[in-house]
Amino acid sequence: MPSAPDHLSTTLAALSDPTRRAILARLAGGEATVTELAAPFAMSMPAVSRHLKVLEHAGLITRAREAQWRPCRISAAPLKDVAEWLAHYQRFWTESLDRLDEYLQDVQKKEKKHGHGKLRAKRRA
């Protein structure tokens, strides 16, 4: 029996589409109506609405009702989960690059100690 998708998977799936990422980027600057969000895209209003439903399902946006106006707002809580998940991999890459830096410094010290750096410079000249 397939398991229900977890929140992180739902968030990452919602973020996988460039249109949805562009909508979130727009909403990071403040709330907007569906019409305002649809303006930069060459797609139908129903298509934009489907993107908004995916974002809403993932908890990345909320839609309020103020009279006839339905403003959309970003809800960044799911992005915190993504950031925390990515932080693990950031540590991995930082540690890997630190080890590479240490290795390169050791190689440079050995080259200076044995004069290999000078030999290469003379050979190029």
Domain ranges of the chain: 7-75, 79-124
In this prediction, residue 123 has a pLDDT band, given cuts at 50, 70 and 90, of: low
Taking the C-alpha atoms of residue 109 and residue 9, their distance in angstroms, rounded to an integer, is 46
Q: What is the pLDDT of residues 4-47, one digit of tens each?
A: 568 999 999 999 999 999 999 999 999 999 999 999 999 999 99
In 1-125, the DSSP E strands lie at 61-63, 72-74
What is the topology classification, in CATH, of domain 7-75?
A: Arc Repressor Mutant, subunit A (1.10.10)
CB 11 within 8 A of CB 60: yes
Q: Residue 122 has what pLDDT?
A: 55
CB 60 within 8 A of CB 79: yes
Residue 49 CB coordination number (10 Å): 14
Q: What is the pLDDT of residues 72-114, one digit of tens each?
A: 999 989 999 999 989 888 888 888 888 988 999 988 888 888 7
Taking the C-alpha atoms of residue 74 and residue 32, their distance in angstroms, rounded to an integer, is 10
Taking the C-alpha atoms of residue 97 and residue 120, their distance in angstroms, rounded to an integer, is 26
Q: Residue 5 has what pLDDT?
A: 61
